[in-house]
Structure 1
Amino acid sequence: MTLALYRRYRPATFAELVGQEHVTAPLAKAIDGGRINHAYLFSGPRGCGKTSSARILARSLNCEEGPTSTPCGVCTSCVSLAPDGPGSIDVIEIDAASHGGVDDARDLRERAFYAPVSSRYKVYIVDEAHMVTTQGFNALLKVVEEPPDFLVFVFATTEPDKVLPTIRSRTHHYPFRLMAPAIMRRLLEVISEVETARIEPSVFPLVVRAGGGSARDSLSILDQLLAGAGPEGVTYKSAVSLLGVTDDALLDETIDALAAHDAPGVFRAVDQVVEAGHDPRRFATDLLDRLRDLIVLDAVPDASGNDLLDCPPDRLDLMNQQAAALGSATLSRMADTVHEGLTEMRGTTAPRLLLELVCARMLLPVDNYSADTVVGRLERLERRLQMADSRPEHVDPHKRSRTPVAPSPTTAPSHLSSTEATRLIALTAATPLTTTEKAEPDRPPTRPLVPLANDRRAVPPEERHKPLFERATPPVEVPRWPELLSAVRQGSRTAEALLRQARATQASNGVLKLTVTSAALALRLNDEIHKGILHHVARQILGDPLEIQVIVAPVGGAPY
């Protein structure tokens, strides 16, 4: 029978205990300095080294060259207390989960006063100490308070608050922590090299995440993957199948569909999850983890170099594109939505239904007046302004518009009050912001993205007295328009549906002017994703680059 990895690589000294330097360093100094206490309390999550540290402490105290923080490893006591040793009669381990009653405590108290047989100290290691009953702790209280000089107690527990306060106050408390992902990955890589195992680099993040910071759990998962590996070693596909995590390709497809507001794509991803037999809750958890990674990457572009993200370098470019397409405000809103959905999924009998409702909420347009909405819309407007500024056009200066337009903000103010935020979002919802050409000598002019829908000042004076229906611009014929719509539908059904609600009022001189009846529809058509698809399709079908302008006009009226 093969020995498990977590037993084979159990640390034998404080120096070999990885990720717990905040405990091992002061404990080693106390042993070397001769300041040995009669009782210790080791607390922390499971699999982080509490029991191993208790055994190392007993080994350090009873070494023939000690007490020392670096046991020699060759004396009788060190050999007996080694991870693969037979044990010592003077070091007694008690499982309080099955021996936590008052009778067990009384038996321990009677035996504790007998001197050690062959060692310097008699050490009692009480594992799962929180399982000892109140009567059991009361029976131990006197011997823990005033033990013989040769007696040392080590209590190990995952729940220190359940240890009787009178016991806890008489111990030196050392809290253990979960291991950091970067440290855990290095440990797994070292062990895999020692085992000469072939493991794809993309497997390690899956094992680290599944282990949850516990060294024992992570080594058990790695041991299971190695046991079921074939001649090719542990592959990413086999690890995803065995651990039940969501494939990165499916998460990428879902994020891209959310960024493009492609509802069919999002619900197809949910259907793939259910058809493959995966748990919708696990998919939602993995989606929340991906949104977290994108939020961090959007805030810290070099997050991978700072160990904030653990992902392969070849995926950073794709994740950067996803973060830029969504924006920090939208990512934060979606993460909150998924988190609320996970809370609702607890104990539900229809997790797929709730997952689909969560996806539907993420796809809904934001129409409230909260500060998050203001920030999200300003981010989208900033991206559109940047795209407009990056496409200079050569226009006759004599033909530039001389209509004075108030400058649009290019950065979101960080000190908006609630009243100002409400006014700003109300203006944004009513009339989308626009850019107009300015006669600046050092900057090429740009064409407007969305002209204001109800600004009569933009109408020439001689036209203002005419009614709206007399100023209406008739639709024009666009060459190969059905073929263009069909190609747009292949790229995005959402863009094709939006395009069918607009009418073409100009298709000449490399300009396609679309007229719509609502500012909301103009905002959707002016989205960089939809506009980019239309640019790409027009170049493919018509052969020339086509500038697209979206004009807002009332029903039966003319664009201003």
Structure 2
Amino acid sequence: MALYRKYRPATFAEVVGQEHVTDPLCTALDTGRISHAYLFSGPRGCGKTSSARILARSLNCVEGPTSTPCGTCASCASLAPGGGGNLDVIELDAASHGGVDDTRELRDRAFYAPAESRYRVFIVDEAHMVTTAGFNALLKIVEEPPAHLIFVFATTEPEKVLPTIRSRTHHYPFRLLPPATMRGLLGDICAQEHVPVDEAVYPLVIRAGGGSPRDSLSVLDQLLAGAGSDGVTYTRAVALLGVTDVALIDDAIDALSAGDGAALFRTVDRVMEAGHDPRRFAVDLLERLRDLILMQAVPDATERGLVAAPADLLDRMRDQAARLGPATLTRCAELLHAGLGEMRGATAPRLLLEVVCSRMVLPAADTSDAATLQRLERLERQVASGVVSAPAAGAAEPGQASAGAPPEPA
């Protein structure tokens, strides 16, 4: 069984990172302030449908409505993850059943009393796919439903839900998980699966999942499926996920800090020889620049969870942030971001990547303000390190006569 199904939460206490939603729902259940319609919105894979099932389970528990269903009664057993389902809890996928005929059938079925439970609960997934005519067919029953009926609409795009429907619901927005919370969730699951995972693998999984628990667990599931006797190693994770090896990113950053165009182009050549996608290399390099910018702007970025990486990589990143100035980091990030747009659909992405690299290491070829700031920053660092000697005090600038010197004859 897939990890995201195996570890699907069965109670609100098991829902990770959504306390701003689960706490008010638990309070409402325990105090009996139950609404007839709910709207769960948020990015994909954040627990909207799972929370809707938990809500139905909590409402129909023999000890309920309660925020802590017993888990042993017939209703709890049927609605548990992996359960056989309940006749009184109906899930409708609006992506394929969002037409007016489907919603009219749902409306007609909704008037029947529950067969064996306290409430009839209709969970409408992908609710933004319901047509306007379909929402209009539901409008009257959502506005004035029978006492036994509860609607739960789940959607990734709440603004597309008909405003007259949205205004009659209690709206709970779900959010993506921050890296620190996701790291704890992934670590707990790996411990339960008894599979060792290199610490450097977790940031790769977290970034690949984009903050979605379901997507992150799908990525982790793939890595665990291919794990050997030594567990999930960094090398295997890099190969499976297609991300750029951190050594190549470090070499690119070192070349940028030294202004060494030859070293940077050699790194691009190694990227291609390793079979990496040049677009993915550009994305990974942009993410590193983003981390370095944050480490410069926020000294305790790692403690705040703004930058996540293994301890040895964080030490290297601190050194890189000290060697690269803010003007250089900002301009390189802007060039990479613009280059990624140009690479979309390009037939020669390597060529475009090399053009972007040449722009990053040759600010003198650019007349923009950002390039001027980068040149000034580089000159200041060279003067501070003694590579270039500063002009002596009172020394004349090139092309200017010294003070008190006689003018040259005409």
Normalising by the residue count of structure 1, what TM-score does the alignment of the two structures yield?
0.69
CA shift, 1:276, in A, is: 2.5
Q: Percent identity?
A: 67
CA distance in 2: counterparts of 1:293 and 1:5, whole angstroms: 30
The residue aligned with 1:85 is: 83
Q: Does the aligned pair in 1 maintain the 2:118–2:148 contact within 8 Å?
A: yes
Q: 1:185 to 1:451 in 2, by over 3 A?
A: farther
SS at match of 2:145: coil
Q: 1:314 aligned to 293, 312, 315, which one? A: 312
The residue aligned with 2:145 is: 147
Q: 1:102 aligned to 84, 100, 103, which one? A: 100
CA RMSD of aligned residues (A): 2.4
CA distance in 2: counterparts of 1:435 and 1:21, whole angstroms: 61
Q: 1:233 to 1:368 in 2, by over 3 A?
A: closer
The residue aligned with 1:202 is: 200
The residue aligned with 2:245 is: 247
Q: 2:276 aligned to 278, 282, 289, which one? A: 278
Deviations 1:62-117 (A, max 9, x none): 11111111112122211221112212111111111221222211111111111001
CA distance in 2: counterparts of 1:212 and 1:194, whole angstroms: 23
SS at match of 1:457: coil
Instruction: Write out aligned runs for 1:185-264 (5 A).
Output: 185-264=183-262
CA distance in 1: counterparts of 2:298 and 2:101, whole angstroms: 58
CA distance in 2: counterparts of 1:9 and 1:122, whole angstroms: 26
Q: 1:339 aligned to 332, 337, 340, which one? A: 337
CA distance in 2: counterparts of 1:344 and 1:151, whole angstroms: 52
CA distance in 2: counterparts of 1:225 and 1:368, whole angstroms: 44
Segments of structure 2 that go 5 or more residues without pairing to the other structure are: none
Segments of structure 1 that go 5 or more residues without pairing to the other structure are: 392-431, 439-449, 468-560
Q: Which amino acid aligns with 1:115?
A: A
The question of 1:434 aligning with 2:390 is answered yes
Deviations 1:429-468 (A, max 9, x none): xxx9925489xxxxxxxxxxx9843454389x6xx7899x
The question of 1:457 aligning with 2:402 is answered yes
CA distance in 2: counterparts of 1:451 and 1:219, whole angstroms: 66
Q: Which amino acid aligns with 2:229?
A: P
The residue aligned with 2:7 is: 9
Which segment is superposed worse, 235-244 or 86-95?
Answer: 86-95
SS at match of 1:174: strand
CA distance in 2: counterparts of 1:458 and 1:294, whole angstroms: 46
Q: Does the aligned pair in 2 maintain the 1:433–1:452 contact within 8 Å?
A: no
CA distance in 2: counterparts of 1:228 and 1:9, whole angstroms: 19
CA distance in 2: counterparts of 1:247 and 1:221, whole angstroms: 18
Q: Which has the higher contact order (CA 8 A, sep 6+)?
A: 2
CA distance in 1: counterparts of 2:155 and 2:102, whole angstroms: 18
CA shift, 1:368, in A, is: 6.2
Q: 1:265 aligned to 263, 266, 272, which one? A: 263
CA distance in 2: counterparts of 1:375 and 1:451, whole angstroms: 24
CA distance in 2: counterparts of 1:231 and 1:263, whole angstroms: 42
The question of 1:76 aligning with 2:74 is answered yes
Instruction: Write out aligned runs for 1:447-486 (5 A).
Output: 452-457=397-402
CA distance in 1: counterparts of 2:168 and 2:200, whole angstroms: 47
CA distance in 2: counterparts of 1:80 and 1:433, whole angstroms: 79
CA distance in 2: counterparts of 1:375 and 1:106, whole angstroms: 64
Q: Does the aligned pair in 2 maintain the 1:14–1:28 contact within 8 Å?
A: yes
Question: How many aligned residue pairs are there?
Answer: 409
Normalising by the residue count of structure 2, what TM-score does the alignment of the two structures yield?
0.93
CA shift, 1:210, in A, is: 0.2
Specify the structure having the higher radius of gyration (Cα): 1
Deviations 1:47-75 (A, max 9, x none): 00000000010011111111111112122
Q: Which amino acid aligns with 1:343?
A: G
Q: 1:364 aligned to 362, 365, 374, which one? A: 362
The residue aligned with 2:27 is: 29
The residue aligned with 1:416 is: none
Moved over 3 A (4+): 366-388, 435-438, 450-456, 464-467
